Amino acid sequence: MRFEDLRLNEPLLRAVRTAGYEDTTPIQAKAIPHVLAGKDVLGCAQTGTGKTAAFALPILQRLGRGPMRRNGPGRRIRTLVLAPTRELAQQIHDSFLTYGQHTDIRQTVIFGGVNQNPQARALRAGADILVATPGRLLDLIGQGLISLRHVEILVLDEADRMLDMGFLPDIRRVLAQVPKERQTLLFSATMPAPIRKLADSILHEAVPVQVAPRVSAPAPTVEHSIYHVEKPGKTKLLTSLLDHTPYSRVLVFTRTKHGADKVVKQLGRAGMDAAALHGNKSQGARTRALAAFRSARTPVLVATDIAARGLDVEDISHVINYDLPHEPETYVHRIGRTGRAGESGRAVSFCTGDDRDNLRAIERLLRTQLQKAEDPPGYTSPRITPTLPSARDKGAAHKSGRPHNGCRNRTQSGPGSGDPARSNRSRRKTKRRRARLPVGS
């Protein structure tokens, strides 16, 4: 379907054409007519499906129909969009700016981690659309800088992500500030029970719109491979891969913020440009890192799972799981950053002996085994593939009193010492016996 078929007005169509779009995505074709009609929408769609335009375009058209005060301070917040992270909030704000460039509608964005004064000035100047993260929004409401009494449209984006980050109490506090008579749009990549319960409590006769693939069905254009490598060899393997693999942009995932910083330093010592993205970085540092990654000035971005969802960067050729995630669904979200819009992509994972259970869970979710990769040129360090004991072996070892790893127990005093528990009892008896001897014996 073409955007002209959705009865969008000329300023919006002009902006869409300027952005280089002609045909709608499935979520846009299904959601836009219902949003234009003023209906509540419950959308199940992942990042990268065109979801933002699915609510931004009809919201801009709806707001353009009503009267607006053109003098800045007289403007009231008529649309509120809640997003879980600073990066996603900024992306949504940028989309509103792009699609609304030929309209008189004003928008602003607020999020934590930066000085609030510029945001407060933008709010005093007036805005029709406010994109916000929950924490900073409630902070500014508490200071009397924001009123939500005139909100006509409420959007909750990435609702399941907000749930994962513990924002549900904050969302309920925000809901108490907005009018009950409003249009509500809720979008989520997955629909766990708490999100269903939230949707039932805030949506009125909502139209369900679902176009997201199953979480266990990653893009078919992504090639998966696995390296079995122990922790000391990870950095050398990563640098060797980056040295000998043609790529455009590479997104490397670590489990921890410290791990991301450490990998960036190690790559730097190897002469490779890389930047880190995680929650401990200041907003300025995060913005600069993303801008450098988008422009390919810094083609390698090392991130925690803050980038697994909500990061919309084109032409990521490789996703490397430096650390395998504990949750198999997170693997699918991570690799969803590559192989988008029909393009090919590669998902490369490093698996240590401690990660075997995580690997099995991922393969069960995908219903396939990840292909073992060949060593890159120049990588000569041995990769250890330990054989872990099965549950049956562990049980047998437990019953026999022998350690299941085949090694001598550290409490033994030497070769042939026998049962370590018996040796300990013998030592205690000897000490008691010596304590009873008279002095000088």
**Structural tokens at position 415:** 């070769």
More confident residue, 327 or 351: 351
Any long-range contacts for 190-198 (C-beta under 8 Å, 24+ apart)?
190/44, 190/160, 190/215, 190/329, 191/44, 191/160, 192/160, 192/163, 194/163, 194/168, 195/159, 195/160, 195/163, 198/159, 198/163, 198/168, 198/171
**Residue 49, pLDDT score:** 76
Question: CB within 8 A of 428, min separation 6: which ones?
Answer: none
Beta-carbon-side half-sphere exposure of residue 408 (alpha carbons within 13 Å): 10
Once rounded to an integer, what is the mean pLDDT over residues 183-202? 90
**Residue 429, pLDDT score:** 54
pLDDT at 405 over 60: no
Amino acid at 271: G
**Structural tokens at position 59:** 């919201």
The most confident of the ranges 70-74, 166-170, 180-184 is: 180-184
Q: Give the pLDDT band of residue 57 (cuts 50, 70, 90).
A: very high
The residue to which tokens 């008691």 are assigned: 432
Q: Of 193, 115, 133, which Cα lies nearest the Cα of 160?
A: 193
3-state secondary structure of 250: strand
Once rounded to an integer, what is the mean pLDDT over residues 338-359? 88
Q: Which residues pair with 279 in a beta bridge?
A: none
pLDDT at 435 over 60: no
Q: Report the range of poorest mean pLDDT among 58-67, 130-139, 430-439.
A: 430-439
List, for residues 224-246, the tens digit of each pLDDT value: 999 999 888 999 999 999 998 88
Q: Do domains 3-210 and 222-372 have the same CATH topology?
A: yes
Say if CB 69 and CB 75 are below 8 A apart: yes
Once rounded to an integer, what is the mean pLDDT over residues 398-425? 42
pLDDT at 380 over 70: no
List, for residues 116-152, the tens digit of each pLDDT value: 999 999 999 999 999 999 999 999 999 999 999 999 9
**Residue 329, pLDDT score:** 78
CATH level 2 (architecture), domain 3-210: 3-Layer(aba) Sandwich (3.40)
In the 8-state DSSP scheme, what is residue 322? S
**Residue 416, pLDDT score:** 41
For the chain, report the end-to-end CA distance as a whole number of angstroms: 101
List, for residues 244-261, the tens digit of each pLDDT value: 888 999 999 999 889 999
Residue boundaries of the structural domains of the chain: 3-210, 222-372
Cα separation, 79 vs 83, whole angstroms: 13
Residue 260: other Cβ atoms inside 10 A: 28
DSSP string of 83-111, one letter each residue? -SSHHHHHHHHHHHHHHTTTSS--EEEE-
The CATH superfamily of 222-372 is: P-loop containing nucleotide triphosphate hydrolases (3.40.50.300)
**Structural tokens at position 141:** 């409401």
